[in-house]
Chains A and B, each alone.
Chain A
Amino acid sequence: MTFSADKSILYKKFYREIYRIRRVEEEIARIYPTDKIKSPVHLSIGQEAVSVGVCQALRPDDIVFGTYRGHAMYLAKGGDLRGMIAELYGKSTGCAKGIGGSMHLIDTNHGIMGTSAIVGTTIPLAVGYAYGLKLNQKDSIAVSFFGDGAVDEGAFHESLNYAALKKLPVLFVCENNLYAIHSHHLQRHHSDNITERARSYGMPAKRIEDGDVFKIYDFVKATVEKMRAGSCGPVFLECVTCRWKEHVGPCDDFHLGYRSEEEVAAWKRKDSLSSLGSLLESDIRNKIELAVASEITDAFKFAEESLFPEPERLYHYLFKE
């Protein structure tokens, strides 16, 4: 352990965060068949511990960049829930005014610089942001979230090289859920060596294999302290994890046969949410769960009752005034 904070406070916080993201996405999955959300949804269910472990160790003024599988990162970093649900509904009150949908969440007030539907595109953006932070002598850091599929892309390698070269304060977080859609990463990579490859560019790199939210938190907490102190340069973290649902959409996908039910069941058995839950007194848990439930009810009601954008909004945001 590299920190000495009161564990029980952390248990509570982490449980709340993971539970909240899980429940939000379960609610999205429940609503989806009504066709009210006309937006492709890439659920993070099963992967929440990565976003929570990382973002709990960040400060509000740290900046995150992510992918279309971005609900967990958005919520973990403090993104506005009402704005997110309204965005999925295509309403003008959404975090991107209904124009972006589920794949393009943003909340700059909370350091969320946007998610992209083109794999690998936000990795260099995080590096560039870190460049800006360094030039402006800020002690906040940039974090880039991406999947194992993004590791295949040239932009990934170009970004790591440049970040190391310029010793930029950027934390790379690879959420390795082993698949890019249905393609296993060993069908796309010669070896299981993402961290070694990152290290070869000239940065410390760590792999956490079991999705343990505390291990992720501890590592990031210690790392960002060093990064803030300056001169440490970029750091790479690979978190092995598991997407429980299909690549896109609200259902399971075991019928496709590209992975086994057992493979996912093994991850479900070590789910951070249930292990954290078992550490809490039931009345504490109940209180958290009730508060989350009412927040979610409120957010969906807000989205339902919000208006669609007016037709003239079509041309509104093309250029900055």
Chain B
Amino acid sequence: MPRILKYPDAICEALEQEMSRDPSVIVLGQGVDDPKAILGTTKGLVEKFGSERVSDTPLAEDGMTGVAIGAALAGLRPIHTHIRMDFVLLAMNQIINMAAKMHYMFGGAVYIPIVIRSIIGKSWGQGAQHSQSIYPMLMNIPGLKIVAPSTPYDVKGGLIQSLRDNNPVVFIEHRLLYYQKGHVPEESYTIPFGKARVLARGSHITLVGISHMAVECLRAQRYLKEVGIEAEVIDPVSLSPLDIDTILASTLKTKKIIVVDNSWITCGAGAEIIAQLTEKNHENKGIVFRRMGFAFVPCPTTPALENSFYPNAKTIASTAYEMIYGKKDSWTPDAELTIEEVEFKGPF
């Protein structure tokens, strides 16, 4: 019997195991020691490791990122948590001007092992300022590693790997991934950065989904199966470094690819992945490309508009169908409620 864990419990287990193994790991962030414990992901840590290693911070995102960098210089391995990725925007100065640059700028004299952990929000009127997913901006920055696992297995292994990495790692979760359940071994383990995960095998089309969009792609894959289309679904897991080879191999096989960003399309991961595929596939062997992502506006709160702001399994499946059978032959799967729609009742 495989051991099944929920996504947040896998995060908590990773933190607990790595803090036990390595006394230099410290957890910082607003609310990490509070009764709600970052949606349960830091539960029990302050009781077990004490308030010196698990501590709440003032609302001072940029300053506290600098503090984490300083602590890392002194030999600690801080993980700084933001309950929404939007708040990382306040820390961009320290992340980009300092953390990402210091090892290089000082000729390797110092290194910055910090993890910046944040959760992307969605739905229930999170709105323009609580639903952003700024990994594309960060992918533009050399010196940062960026990971956004979609499965409980990868979130545990990825977080432990992030804490052991000697560089700044941006670790990205998604609020709606907190409903995912899956196999998670009890022992401590890591997953390598720069290695994509193939979530489903298929030969007709490649679907690449970032973060929660990997789940939507898997749902789309199930819909497509009903109409005889075998989709291959890939979660890149790490966005920087990016495992383009796995995606290229799949695309050369299927000749069709949709990259579904969990962000805006412009300059997104989809743009990067498709550009790299194009460069690597010099003779362009008749591959058809498509990008999907957020509508190019801030996220509206009203459900009437929020629904069309995001791609979903239905729109992904019908886009895939159209890429295979052409425009005249359109098809949309019947909608079925997702676990998030059933379970997520807000507010955050």
The answer to whether A and B assemble together is yes
B89, B126, B295, B303: the one contacting A315 at CB < 8 Å is B295
Could you say which of A13-21, A72-80, A175-183, A225-233 contacts chain B? A175-183
Q: Which residues of B contact A180 (CB under 8 A)?
A: 30, 59
CA distance A309 to B305 in the complex (A): 7
Interchain CA distance A125-B31 in the complex, whole Å: 27
Query: In whole Å, how far is B202's beta carbon from the nearest beta carbon of chain A?
Result: 32
- Asked if A39 contacts B125 (CB within 8 A), the reply is yes
Partner-binding segment picked from B3-11, B127-135, B169-177, B280-288 = B127-135
Residues of A within 8 A of B300 (CB): 98-99, 309, 314
B347 contacts the other chain (CB 8 A): yes
* Interface pick from A114-122, A161-169, A268-276: A114-122
Query: How many residue-residue contacts, CB under 8 A, span A and B?
Result: 128
Per-position contact with B for A127-163: 1 when CB-CB < 8 Å, else 0?
0000000000000000000000110111000000000
Q: Tell which of A47-55, A58-66, A100-108, A208-216 binds the partner.
A: A100-108
Given A117-B130, A248-B347, A256-B36, also A91-B59 (CB < 8 A): no
Mark out the residues of chain A between 79 and 104 whose CB falls within 8 Å of any chain B CB in the assembled complex: 90-91, 94, 98-104
Q: Is B86 among interface residues, defined by CB-CB distance under 8 A?
A: yes
Q: Does B301 contact A152, Cβ atoms closer than 8 Å? A: no
Q: Does B303 contact A38, Cβ atoms closer than 8 Å? A: yes
By the criterion CB–CB under 8 Å, are A38 and B125 in contact?
Answer: yes
Rounded to whole angstroms, the CA-CA distance of A287 and B302 in the bound complex is: 36
- Partner of B35 from the list A116, A118, A257 (CB cut-off 8 Å) is A257
> Closest approach, in angstroms, between the C-beta of A293 and any C-beta of chain B?
27
CB of B2 within 8 A of chain A? no
Contact, CB under 8 Å: B59 / A152: yes
A41 / chain B contacts, CB cutoff of 8 Å: 347
Residue in B125, B129, B296 whose beta carbon sits within 8 Å of that of A90 in the complex: B125
Number of interface residues of B (CB under 8 A): 38
Please determine whether B124 and A315 come into contact, CB atoms closer than 8 angstroms. no
A317 to B, closest residue via Cβ: B297
Q: Is B179 an interface residue (CB 8 A)?
A: no
Contact, CB under 8 Å: B347 / A98: no
- Given contacts A40-B346, A104-B128, A99 and B59 within 8 Å (CB-CB): no
B186 within 8 A of A: no
List residues of chain B with CB within 8 A of the CB of A40: 124-126, 130, 346-348
Binding site for A on B (CB under 8 A): 30-31, 34-36, 56-60, 62-63, 86-87, 89-90, 124-130, 295-297, 300-305, 308-309, 345-348
The interface of chain A, by Cβ under 8 A from chain B, is 35, 38-41, 90-91, 94, 98-104, 116-120, 149-150, 152-154, 180-183, 187-189, 248-249, 256-258, 308-309, 311, 313-315, 317-318
